[in-house]
Chain A
Amino acid sequence: MESDRPPGREPVPPPGDAWTALSYLLSGFLLFGGIGWGLDRLSGTGAFTLIGLLVGGAASLYLIYIRYVKS
């Protein structure tokens, strides 16, 4: 039985992280872009989709920062 990690090796970020970060980005755009699009459909305006996409993108980036950089 060997130890968890060979001695002398610095812990590196797990390789799966890069791929999961992508899924956060996608989710932010989809969710808030989708909500904006829905509001546009209901109200007949055209600006909410754009606002939603921007808010969603910004929120995703912030979330990635919290999950992977800050912690």
Chain B
Amino acid sequence: MTILATAPSPGFDAPGVEDFNLPPIFGDVTKPVLQFVLAAVLVWAFFTITARRPQLVPGKAQFLGESFHGIVRNAIARDNIGHDYLKYVPYLTTLFAFILVNNLFGIIPLIQFPSFSHPGMAYALAAMSWLIYNAIGIRKHGFGGYLRVSTWPAGVPWWVRIILTPIEFLSNIILRPVTLSLRLFGNMFAGHLLLLVFILGGEYMLLHSESLVVNLLSPFAFAMGIVFTFFEAFIQVVQAYVFTILTASYIGTVLADDH
């Protein structure tokens, strides 16, 4: 609220899209690119270390790795896919871990940039999930059978199908990867922008404002920045979870024999 009151003052350059266009570090490599590489290495290292020398009675590291794997296996894969879920647990576990680490980069000090606030990699991950669930569906039902399962609602008269089948096709085959990627990108972009507004606004109020009252009000902006950082932590976990759960849910629907 304090920001809104001071926003019209000349000189405060409100953060916007341009703040997300970070200059390349070398060549065409930008900060998000390095973050993706770092995230991949971290995820690989985490599972390599926690799965090394597995014991019957797990130690701390093994317990951590197995708990994470267990959440994905039981809460995400089993509840959404049904009996053949075990095959898909490795992909879903890595997907969840990779997105989670990249999202948390948004609030980890010194990194503080959510990789998916650039949509490119979100498109790539959504495309991968799209390829995977379509391939699973085609392999299980054949091409025609798969189209029938995913766009042919059972038990309705033919003239209703004329209306419903195009909606099913658009929703299940075309829009799914779009919503999947845009949801992740939008949440990360908006969250980071929100933090920028409060932190940069607070900085401006404290250091660049002529008015003593505004100077003294700046801690409120910083306090809101801190509150929203915790809120972001929550959103970042939820979005990683939602992306994974939806991928599992799509795999589950294409594996289902009939709706």
Give 7 new A-B contacts, CB below 8 A, not counting A14-B80, A24-B167, A55-B163: A16-B250, A20-B246, A23-B175, A23-B179, A27-B170, A59-B163, A59-B164
Q: How far is the CA of A27 from the CA of B169 in the complex (A)?
A: 9
The interface bits of chain A over 42-71 (1 if a CB of B lies within 8 angstroms of the residue's CB, else 0) are: 000000000000011001101100110011
- Chain A residues with CB under 8 Å of B176's CB are 20, 23
B137 to A: closest C-beta gap in Å: 14
Q: Tell me the dominant secondary structure on chain B's binding face.
A: helix
- Choose one: B154, B171, B248; the contact of A23 (CB below 8 Å): B171
Give the residue of B160, B175, B252 whose beta carbon is less than 8 angstroms from that of A14: B252
Given A20-B249, A26-B175, A30-B170, A70 and B164 contact (CB-CB distance below 8 Å): no
Are A60 and B246 touching (Cβ within 8 A)? no
> Once the chains bind, are A14 and B249 in contact (CB under 8 Å)?
yes
Measured CB to CB, the closest approach of chain B to A52, in angstroms, equals 11
Binary A-proximity of B143-177 (CB < 8 A = 1, otherwise 0): 00000000001111000100110111011100110
Given contacts A16-B80, A67-B153, contact A56 B249 (CB under 8 A): no
For residue B126, CB closer than 8 A to chain A, the reply is no
B160, closest chain A residue (CB)? A62
Q: Is B249's CB under 8 angstroms from A63's CB?
A: no
> A55: which B residues are within 8 A, CB to CB?
163
28 CB-based A-B contacts, threshold 8 Å: A4-B83, A5-B78, A14-B249, A16-B246, A16-B248, A16-B249, A19-B242, A19-B249, A23-B171, A23-B176, A24-B168, A26-B171, A27-B171, A30-B175, A31-B167, A31-B170, A32-B163, A56-B167, A59-B163, A60-B167, A63-B153, A63-B167, A66-B154, A66-B156, A66-B259, A67-B259, A71-B258, A71-B259
* Complex-state Cα separation, A19 to B180, whole angstroms: 10
Q: How far is the CA of A27 from the CA of B170 in the complex (A)?
A: 6
Contacting pair B170 A62 (CB below 8 A): no
* CB within 8 Å for A63 and B245 given contacts A4-B78, A15-B80, A23-B175: no
Q: Number of A interface residues, CB 8 Å?
A: 28
Report if B253 contacts A (CB, 8 A): yes
Chain B: minimal CB distance from A35 (Å): 9
If the complex has contacts A28-B167, A55-B163, are A19 and B246 also in contact, measured as CB distance less than 8 A? yes
Q: Smallest CB–CB gap between B84 and chain A, Å?
A: 10
Judge whether B79 is part of the interface by a CB distance below 8 angstroms. yes
- Cα A26 to Cα B176 in complex, Å, equals 11
Closest-by-CB residue of B relative to A25 is B171
Q: What is the CA–CA distance of A61 and B78 in the complex, to the nearest angstrom?
A: 28
A59 and B155 contacting across the interface, CB-CB below 8 Å: no
- Chain A residues within 8 Å of B252, by CB: 14, 16
A32 surroundings in chain B (CB, below 8 A): 163, 167
CA distance A32 to B167 in the complex (A): 9
Tell me the complex Cα distance, A33–B106, Å. Answer: 38
6 A-B pairs closest in CB distance:
A16-B249, A27-B171, A27-B170, A14-B80, A59-B163, A23-B171
